[in-house]
Amino acid sequence: MPRSWEDEDDSRYPSGFDLQQTAITFLKVFAWLDLFGGIVGAIIIWKEFSTSPVAIGIGIAVVLQGIFTWAFFLVVAYIALNVIAIRENTTPRQQPPK
């Protein structure tokens, strides 16, 4: 029988450690770091090579890459949160016999 998330042994993690929430937090942090890195990278490109039209285009591409990657990772993080909520709300509860 295949194992589920509920069957996983959490004894190898510290108490209070939630792997799912940690992964979601990592996605959110990575999204914001990517956006910040894209903006800073574009500014550096524009400052160093401001006279080149190719550098202006590359700077715009770096900013757009940062924005779209930021949005993608945030959407994935919120989808994961919703999947966790759906799974918790649809898990059958053990009812004591009457």
- Segment 8-49, tens digit of pLDDT: 555 555 555 577 788 899 999 999 999 999 999 999 999 998
Lowest mean pLDDT segment, chosen from 2-6, 48-52, 55-59, 60-64? 2-6
When pLDDT is cut at 50, 70 and 90, the band that residue 6 belongs to is: low
CA atoms of 26 and 30, how far apart (whole Å): 6
Contacts 24+ apart (CB under 8 A), 62-67: 62/38, 63/38, 63/39, 65/38, 66/34, 66/35, 66/36, 66/37, 66/38, 66/39, 66/41, 66/42, 67/35, 67/38
Q: In the structure encoding, which two tokens stand for residue 72, read together? A: 């993608």
Q: Does the pLDDT value for residue 57 go beyond 60? A: yes
